Chains A and B, each alone.
Chain A
Amino acid sequence: MSTEWIGVVVMYGLTVLLAIPLGKYLANVFKGEPNAFDFMAPLERLIYRLGGINPHRDMNWKENLVALLTINAVWLVYAFVLLLNQGSLPLNPDGNPSQTPDLAFNTAISFLVNCDLQHYSGESGATYLTQLGVMMFLMFVSAATGIAAAVLLFRSFMPQSVETVGNFYVLFTKAITRLLLPGSLVVALILAFNGTPASFDGKDTIVTLQGDTVNVSRGPAAGFIAIKHLGTNGGGYFGANSAHPLENPNYLTNMVEMIAQVLIPIAMIFAMGFYINRRKFAWVVYSVMTIGMLGLLIPTISSELGGNPAIARMGISQLTGAMEGKDVRFGALASGYWSIVTTIISTGSVNSMHDSSMALSGAMQLLGMMVNAFYGGVGAGLLNFYYFLIIAVFVSGLMVGRTPELFGRKVEAREIKIASIVALMSALLVKGGTALGAWIFMKYGAAEWAVQPSAWLNNPGFHGFSEILYEFTSANANNGSGFEGLGDNNFFWNYSTGIVLLLGRFLPIIGPVAIAGLLAKKKYVPESSGTLPVDTATFGLMIFAVIFIITALSFFPALALGPLAEYFSLR
């Protein structure tokens, strides 16, 4: 096995090895059982007192959603105001300007929803104050929001009928104090020691070997990059994201960032298993997700290692695979692995240019975001998986001749209605957005906008279509990676994706939490031999089929016109 392969295998293996004990720890934290970080309790109590929160009061699903949405609304306004005025606020050594209203709208939303679409570059579009006070702050709270919302699902799996599903504030606070803060500290230290800047100084100047003078942006980046991965946020401190040498200096930091971003999504699966005391079910979920990941990863790696057929036809050998848009520090394999992982979980940080990925890899990256439930973002992955689970339980319950039950609770019309709406909206947001984009590009290409629609795309044809599709898919999945090559900092893209981002984030939170609340209240029926067990390989296959059918079927035409058409044309 080559070192490239060993690197990838070690990265993944270490992640899973760390995720299992972390899952156990998280289950303890969220159940309120004693754990290693109890020394944080005084800080938490202070937060509760300041916020006027009664940490012992369990809330029903509606109260929890109100709490979640209200506090998110407050952060949105706060972030918007700061970004609009950052130019005249302190901590701006480089003298960067304030953001335009449409860009501030997009930026505030995209960080709030754990997406980090970033229609600006960190070097010129943000100040140290907003990098820390807006972007980094939102990275913490959005990750904690997702984790807390996912934990609200757990009680619907437990064998007691309950009115309440938990206390969002407490789960949220603990997610920060006992997971994200300590975890980020460790990652930030590793990054800082490997060369990532962590200072408040302004730009540095170096003279290159050629004798040119180059300004190099710096700033308090190490902590930012740590939470960017740990919270599956993905927003780069610098414009080039983790392909930037200061953001991801070497192969070691590449591994650390890679492990950091998948760690919590996988740990959340095991946390669920420990929390509800059904470890086998957690393993089934983990296996379904892992098989899904492999299904996307294998074609990607094989096409990236295979190199570009167009270049091959020119008689140029590509020993290291398709290297366009990739960094020699990481190589085709690690970059391919990163590109899939970052799209299936909703990080969206990049260490290579996805626009330059092979066509098939592009299709896989898109599919990863369309499913958005193979591991998925912190918390968000389980939330998305939950509605697939509901649909799978429903159909398979019918197939074995019993009113469908999930862990002893009947799945009925209301739950199906909510799950259908969430699935429907996902299709609507991506396809509606892409259709709108394609339509304006074709019909109003010459519109007198700041950026003419005809100038949006870097590439014509299928690839251009993929660029539009990718942007909306990424927004809906709260992923935040871009195919790039899209002129996206203008009002159409800022507003349209901003709206998609909000709906793409909060509907998959509201829907599953509502379903969980409804189920938790229902009468618990002990399992009998007639009940369909959900912790079996057979049922795993069923969930996989549901995920595949719902996403593949609704996105097949779009994929055919974009990456697949490109793939078959290149061949």
Chain B
Amino acid sequence: MAQPKQSSLFQRELVGKAIRESFIKLNPAVLIKNPVMFTVEIGTLIMVLVTAYIALSGDTSQGTLGYNLVITLILLITVLFANFAEAIAEARGKAQAESLRKTRQETPAKVIRAVGNKQVNEVQTIPSSQLVRGDVFVCETGDIIPSDGEIIEGLATIDESAITGESAPVIREAGGDKSSVTGGTKVLSDRIKVQVTTQPGESFLDKMIALVEGASRQKTPNEIALTILLAGFTLIFIIVCVALKPFADYANTPITIAALISLFVCLIPTTIGGLLSAIGIAGMDRALRANVIAKSGRAVETAGDIDTLLLDKTGTITIGNRKATHFYPAPGVSKTDMIRSSALSSLADETPEGKSIVELAGTDVTRNLSTTGATLIKFTAETRSSGIDLPDRSNGLVRIRKGATDSIRTMVKRAGHAFPEETEEQAKKIAANGGTPLVVSQNDSVMGVIELQDIIKPGIAERFDRLRKMGVKTVMVTGDNPLTAKFIAEKAGVDDYIAEAKPEDKMNYIRNEQTGGKLVAMMGDGTNDAPALAQADVGVAMNSGTQAAKEAGNMVDLDNDPTKLIEVVEIGKQLLITRGTLTTFSIANDVAKYFAIVPALFTVSIPALQSLNIMRLHSAESAILSAVIFNAIIIPMLIPLALRGVEYKPIGASALLRRNLFIYGFGGLVAPFIGIKALDLVVGLFV
């Protein structure tokens, strides 16, 4: 996983803050949300009372003052360690969010401010992050629009391909329903004044920070279920320990309160209990590090369950826009003429396709061309073609058009010319190979056909393969015709595609999948996408997308990188895996702890039970101390794992279970035997 901002887990200032927080979190009203650690705190309080009683009365039937004091301190430290884990996760998340807020999207904005006593309007350049709702800024040719807003003055052509994937520039003007502009898009011509309608991204960031801070952090469904299971285990061990008292009475063995509480604290799943909230926060934090703002922890968790992934073709599967790759002249037309016409029609064409045609024609051809006095014919939905009208010395006007096969065919036929069969064939061939044919005509006779090809991103097939191994089905969404779509889908290795997709097609596809019980994720940007983003179980809106899209989705990707969904899925999975494996580890630890403490409890009255002391621990007291110390220090030792997350490997569910069961189950069984024995060797020197 790409983690560009990989920093040390424990930065000094964060650690200091977290340590202070650990003590504040001792407040029982806060701690009660974590039932496991809350019971440890109660145990600590009981031990404080016992220790105080011994100190005051001098009665040593409950063990020496020193021994009880040490146990009390270790229990307190156990709670503090757990609090620290949560606090450090929070501190890291907050720091990350803050720094994001500072550095994110520093587009210069030319804001108009009333300056001085006379309130003279003046244009100032400020970072976009300082824009506030109601500000008015100016954008001129070549500027990136710094924030979502509404045009209040002027008209401009805007390249929105970064968000919509639509290569043709669009016109936006003040008044009417085409007045809104989107942050991140580019002004191609003219000048507009725009009023800011939202605080860019900030509302999401604030939400995210609140989530990380815990105040409004709601437990996710899986976290709730796990907390219930852990509470169940805790209750079982309360029963075990309470019942042990009469059992011991029967065996005429006095058990000290310290020993009973130590046994209890060792048995309950403190390791996972202490790290549980840290794992959740760290999951959000990892999402944030990948520049994804999740609106809830639930969204991140759901991402791990995704069955179907809808991806836009443009920008995700293919690189940006289509490129011209070949010129095929019509019969009887020389290649030079054909290239010349094509280049002429595209010289003033600012679309990426147009530029790529000029590029393919080469400077040798284009150097000598001029479009002075020409009229640009824009692409419209009706004509489905664009072009140029050039004044010509000899015969008045040269009309060059390029467009979809059928629209040019209609135009040519209307003028009474024939549409060459060869060109027709060639166009079909191009389409079948995943390309887009663009027919060029001059004065209503066909010059030839240009082949535009999609360039599939390198490495994308491997990513889809990885997704397939995770059990995620990928679906490509494209406006292309079915033939082209099929070709690209096969080449890129996606499992399914929606061709000639209209926004409602996406919606229907999502609904269909959901009816079949699948969880669907999609990435979107346009307002068109908003309903589908809302319908999807995980909707990732690009930050460059419209406000409506961002409101509808449950995550926002700051990088506008459509492949981010893959990372989000892995983060979600990691989150669950980390919880599951640490639970297993925590519970498996109990076996060794039993073998340490149970013989220690009864060793005086039932010497035969020494046979259970398979670790050959030094003495009863050292055994109990070693067990509680191990129990406490395992929490900070696992904090890095909890924060980084257990690695997800797409090797199939069974293999993954086998692997994790071995590492964390078997490992959890063995590790404490070694750890407790080692601690006992040291502790044994003192008691």
Interface positions of A (Cβ within 8 A of B):
391, 394-404, 408, 411-413, 415-417, 420-421, 423-424, 427-428, 431-432, 434-436, 438-439, 441-443, 462, 465, 523-526, 528-533, 536, 538-539, 541-542, 545, 549-550, 552-554, 556-558, 560-561, 564-565, 568-569, 571
Contact = CB atoms under 8 A, between A and B. Distances in A.
B177 to A, nearest CB: 39
A525 B581 contact: no
A542 B517 contact: no
9 contacts: A403-B576, A413-B224, A421-B232, A462-B251, A525-B516, A529-B468, A542-B661, A560-B612, A561-B251
A525 B513 CA distance: 10
A436 B222 contact: no
Contacts of B594: 553, 556-557
Interface in B221-256: 221-222, 224-226, 228-229, 231-233, 235-237, 239-240, 242-251
A-B pairs with the 9 shortest C-beta distances? Answer: A530-B471, A398-B580, A420-B232, A401-B573, A399-B580, A525-B517, A568-B608, A431-B243, A528-B471
Contact of B587 (A403, A549, A565): A549
A404 B304 CA distance: 11
B654 A532 contact: yes
A553 B608 contact: no
Interface in B581-630: 581, 583-584, 587-588, 590-591, 594, 598, 602, 606, 608-612
Interface string B302-337: 101101000000000000000000000000000000
Nearest to A533: B654
B250 A438 contact: yes
Interface in B426-484: 468-473
A317 to B, nearest CB: 26
B665 interface: yes
Nearest to A439: B246
B591 A428 contact: no
Contact of B470 (A396, A415, A435, A530): A530
A500 to B, nearest CB: 14
Contact of B656 (A399, A421, A525): A399
A565 B225 contact: no
Contacts of A542: 657, 661
Contacts of B657: 396, 399-400, 532, 538-539, 542
A297 B518 CA distance: 45
Contacts of B154: none
A395 B224 contact: no
Contacts of B609: 560, 564-565, 568
B574 interface: yes
A531 B228 CA distance: 23
Nearest to A391: B229
B583 A398 contact: yes
Contact of A568 (B248, B580, B612): B612
A532 B653 contact: yes
A400 B653 contact: yes
Contacts of A404: 222
B660 A408 contact: no
B138 interface: no
Contacts of B408: none
Chain A at the B interface: SS class: helix
B517 A408 contact: yes
A549 B229 CA distance: 14
A560 B602 contact: yes
A413 B307 contact: no
Given A399-B584, A435-B247, A549-B590, A541 B240 contact: no
Interface residues of B, number: 75
Contact of A538 (B222, B242, B654): B654
Given A431-B239, A554-B239, 8 more contacts: A399-B657, A401-B576, A412-B225, A423-B232, A423-B236, A428-B239, A549-B590, A553-B587
B602 A400 contact: no
Contacts of A564: 609, 612
Interface of B: 221-222, 224-226, 228-229, 231-233, 235-237, 239-240, 242-251, 267, 301-302, 304-305, 307, 468-473, 516-518, 572-577, 579-581, 583-584, 587-588, 590-591, 594, 598, 602, 606, 608-612, 648, 652-654, 656-658, 660-661, 664-665
A442 B235 contact: no
Contacts of B575: 401
Contacts of A558: 243, 247
A397 B237 CA distance: 24
B232 A424 contact: yes
B246 A436 contact: yes
A538 B232 contact: no
Contacts of B517: 408, 523-526
Given A434-B243, A549-B588, A530 B236 contact: no
Contact of B469 (A391, A432, A529, A556): A529
Nearest to A399: B580
A554 B240 contact: yes
Given A532-B654, A568-B609, A398 B518 contact: no
Contacts of B248: 561
B257 to A, nearest CB: 16
Given A442-B246, A529-B468, A554-B237, A394 B267 contact: no
Nearest to A159: B517
A435 B243 contact: yes
Contacts of A565: 251, 602, 606, 608-609
Contacts of B598: 556-557, 560
A432 B654 contact: no
A438 B247 contact: yes
A551 to B, nearest CB: 10
Contacts of B581: 398-399
A432 B610 CA distance: 26
A569 B602 CA distance: 13
A413 B247 contact: no
Contacts of B236: 423-424, 427, 550, 553-554
A429 B594 CA distance: 22
Contacts of A530: 307, 470-472, 653
B295 to A, nearest CB: 19
A566 B243 CA distance: 20
Nearest to A536: B654
A465 B250 contact: yes
Among A399, A428, A532, A542, find the residue whose CB has the most chain B CB atoms closer than 10 A: A399
Contacts of B307: 525, 528, 530
Contacts of B304: 401-403
A545 B665 CA distance: 9
Nearest to A468: B250
Contacts of B660: 399-400
Contacts of A412: 221-222, 225
A408 B518 CA distance: 10
Contacts of A396: 580, 657, 661
Contacts of A417: 225, 228
Contacts of A465: 247, 250-251
Contacts of B583: 395, 398
B580 A557 contact: no
B577 A432 contact: no
A413 B231 CA distance: 12
Nearest to A532: B653
B225 A394 contact: yes
A288 to B, nearest CB: 14
Contacts of A533: 653-654
